[in-house]
Amino acid sequence: MIARTDLQNRLCQLLTSFRAVELVGPRQVGKTTLARAFVAPDSPNYFDLENAAARRRLAEPMAALVPLNGLVVIDEVQHMPELCEVLRVLIDRPTHIQRKGQYLLLGSATPRAMHRSESLLGRAVTLEVTGFNLNEVGADGDAVHRLWLRGGFPEAFLEPDDAVSAHWREAAMQRFLYSDLPQLGMNVPAPTMLRFWQMAAQTHGQTWNAAPLARSLGTSETTVRRYLDHLTQTFMVRQLPPWFENLGKRQVKAPKLYLRDSGLLHALLGVQTLPQLLAHPLCGASWTGFALEQVLRIAKPDSAWTWSTHAGARLDLLMLKGSQRIGVEFQRADAPKVTQSMRIAQRDLKLDALYVVYPGQHRFALSDGVQAVPLWALLPGDLPGNMP
């Protein structure tokens, strides 16, 4: 087992301040394990909505929930979207009422996708649970390569060998396509969605362009866009939005597409071992996406963007933290270097700091305002400058 102390501490902090917390993320990343550290699964305050008995207990949700004190866990809340109307009433109860529960809601999609009829906006705070990150698995070379190859799903990462891990990921994708998406009301034929997902994997790290994917699938760009949104709302894909402002330059206004879990990316590409990955044409794009996810999970910026111009200048990642603008470039090279494109981004975006993340061993200054940072240095306490 790998302890997820930081995640547990963050949840504790939220529960001290909010009546309801939505714990969201893809299946099998550890949401249930985390919730059971707070409420035992055999407690009357625990409802697993994948269990028919639990759903029967909530057949009359108001009558079932009103008497409960303390923290109430509702796992896979998307199975009963009508619960949100009841929860809104319960959360809004006056503070002087003696029986006043607190709610931890677990779901496998974004709140917007789960709560189609009633929003808990302003009543619940959201905490996203992802797969393992570098802080949790350690920074030695074997752990980093294993995390990159297998991805962060705990079972995929912890399997005894690469072949078993690959089988687990393939089975997980099948469950996702044939079961999870339909339960969320995202009714796309599983073979069609698999083809789209495989094509999206081939464009990993590239600027989104719906036209060629629509032609390949024999459908419209609007339909392809809907498929992309389904994968985004279920935490499978990250659409990194474009940053643009009035710079007197023609800037690209389409997002970049990244598959969020490198292990699922490799399963879709047919890659099972590290030698296969290192020889694959998308190895560089895979490493960039993996490193980008690690930066975002550990740095936790207020917002994250990509930036590029039609003249060719670009920045892989722009993070906003308070009033600061932090730029990050990813270079899978032994000797990272400052490019003209980086200089343009540093000047035009008025960056407070610019970091080049690379798979080396040492942190050093490349030039004024630019540092090379090895991927292992993304651990808390080792993050450079003002990156928290």
With bands split at pLDDT 50, 70 and 90, how would you rate the model's confidence at 384?
very low
Are the C-beta atoms of 14 and 21 separated by less than 8 Å? Answer: yes
Q: What integer pLDDT is reported at residue 127 of this predicted model?
A: 95
pLDDT at 388 over 50: no
Amino acid letter, residue 225: R
Length of the chain (residues): 388
Per residue in 193-227, pLDDT (tens digit) is 999 999 999 999 999 999 999 999 999 999 999 99
pLDDT at 387 over 50: no
pLDDT exceeding 70 applies to what percent of the chain? 92
pLDDT at 267 over 90: yes
pLDDT at 382 over 60: no
pLDDT exceeding 90 applies to what percent of the chain? 71
Q: What integer pLDDT is reported at residue 233 of this predicted model?
A: 95
Residues 16-38 have a mean pLDDT of 93
Residues 254-275 have a mean pLDDT of 97
Average pLDDT, the chain: 90
Distance, in Å, from the CA atom of 352 to the CA atom of 346, rounded to the nearest integer, reads 8
How much is the pTM?
0.92
Q: What integer pLDDT is reported at residue 313 of this predicted model?
A: 87
Distance, in Å, from the CA atom of 277 to the CA atom of 275, rounded to the nearest integer, reads 5
pLDDT at 250 over 80: no
Residue located via tokens 């798979």: 359
Amino acid letter, residue 273: T
Distance, in Å, from the CA atom of 210 to the CA atom of 231, rounded to the nearest integer, reads 14
Q: What integer pLDDT is reported at residue 380 of this predicted model?
A: 56
Tokens representing residue 165 in the block: 């891990």
CA distance to 17, 127, 132, 146, 249, per residue, from 153 (Å): 29, 17, 7, 12, 41
Residue located via tokens 């996708």: 113
The residue extents of the domains of the chain are 5-128, 135-378
With bands split at pLDDT 50, 70 and 90, how would you rate the model's confidence at 166?
very high
With bands split at pLDDT 50, 70 and 90, how would you rate the model's confidence at 286?
very high
Lowest mean pLDDT among 116-130, 138-152, 280-294, 308-322: 116-130
Distance, in Å, from the CA atom of 185 to the CA atom of 191, rounded to the nearest integer, reads 17
Q: What integer pLDDT is reported at residue 133 of this predicted model?
A: 92
Residues 49-72 have a mean pLDDT of 92
Q: What integer pLDDT is reported at residue 185 of this predicted model?
A: 86
User: 23: closest CA among 67, 75, 94, 59?
Assistant: 75
pLDDT at 240 over 90: yes
pLDDT at 228 over 90: yes
In CATH, what is the architecture of 135-378? Orthogonal Bundle (1.10)
Q: What integer pLDDT is reported at residue 82 of this predicted model?
A: 84
Q: Which CATH class is domain 5-128?
A: alpha beta
